[in-house]
């Protein structure tokens, strides 16, 4: 006769963020932590997969972690062939509602083959010369609600903290 416990999305977000913070605090392996972040971003937002890329001043993207996407798709590179540099440097979220109709998507065939209908791209600053972009890929059109966006932004900022911390520790060594 007891009530069944049901976890709300907010409960899952809170628990997940706590685990990521704990992993950063205890200095867990950076690649494992970044994989955990992209896994959470994809799974808790209902995504097909996700990526985390870092970009330097030259805006050349380096893939740091991915989840749920094929190696073939990942080798295709970024969403837009570098066309969203301004949005990234200004911190603008990129929402592609339809990969087959959005002019920012340059490799529509690869997105179609992977089963990607929509993409959310969220940039953040690691330091004055480095940006990080979290992208979540969806099989259907996805318009995130505010709680989802807050969660994804928090995950990305935690990734930036972990990357910055790792770089700082490596410079001290």
CATH number assigned to the domain comprising residue 34:
3.30.450.40
Residue 35 is assigned to a structural domain of this protein: yes
Residue 115 is assigned to a structural domain of this protein: yes
Where residue 1 falls among pLDDT bands split at 50, 70, 90? Answer: very low
So what's the pLDDT on residue 78? 62
Residue 109 is assigned to a structural domain of this protein: yes
Q: Which residue range(s) make up the domain with 139?
A: 27-172
Residue 85 pLDDT greater than 90, yes or no = no
Measured between its terminal Cα atoms, the distance across the chain in Å is 58
Over residues 117-124, mean pLDDT: 94
DSSP string, the chain: -PPPP---HHHHHHHHHHHHHHHHHTT--HHHHHHHHHHHHHHHHT-SEEEEEEE-TT--EEEEEEES--HHHHHT--SSTTTTHHHHHHT--EEES-TTT-TT-S-HHHHHHHT--EEEEEEEEEETTEEEEEEEEESS-----HHHHHHHHHHHHHHHHHHHHHHHHHHH-
How many domains are there within the chain? 1
Residue 134 is assigned to a structural domain of this protein: yes
Give the span between the Cα atoms of 63 and 167, in whole angstroms: 16
Residue 6 is assigned to a structural domain of this protein: no
Residue 86 is assigned to a structural domain of this protein: yes
Residue 20 is assigned to a structural domain of this protein: no
Residue 87 pLDDT greater than 60, yes or no = yes
Q: Provide the whole-model pTM.
A: 0.89
Residue 71 is assigned to a structural domain of this protein: yes
């Amino acid at each position: 006769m007891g009530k069944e416990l049901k976890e709300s999305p907010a409960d899952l977000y809170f628990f997940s963020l706590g685990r990521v913070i704990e992993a950063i605090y205890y200095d867990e392996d950076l690649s494992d932590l970044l994989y955990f972040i992209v896994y959470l971003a994809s799974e808790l937002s209902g995504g097909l997969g996700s990526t985390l890329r870092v970009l330097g001043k030259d805006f050349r993207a380096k893939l740091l972690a991915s989840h749920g996407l094929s190696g073939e798709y990942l080798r295709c590179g970024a969403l837009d062939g570098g066309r969203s540099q301004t949005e990234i440097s200004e911190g603008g979220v990129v929402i592609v509602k339809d990969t087959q109709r959005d002019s920012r998507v340059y490799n529509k065939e690869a997105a179609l083959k992977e089963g990607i209908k929509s993409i959310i791209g969220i940039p953040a600053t690691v330091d004055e010369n480095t940006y990080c972009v979290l992208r979540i890929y969806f099989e259907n059109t996805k318009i995130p609600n505010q709680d989802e966006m807050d969660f994804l932004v928090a995950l990305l900022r935690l990734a930036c903290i972990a990357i910055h911390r790792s770089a700082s520790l490596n410079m001290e060594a």
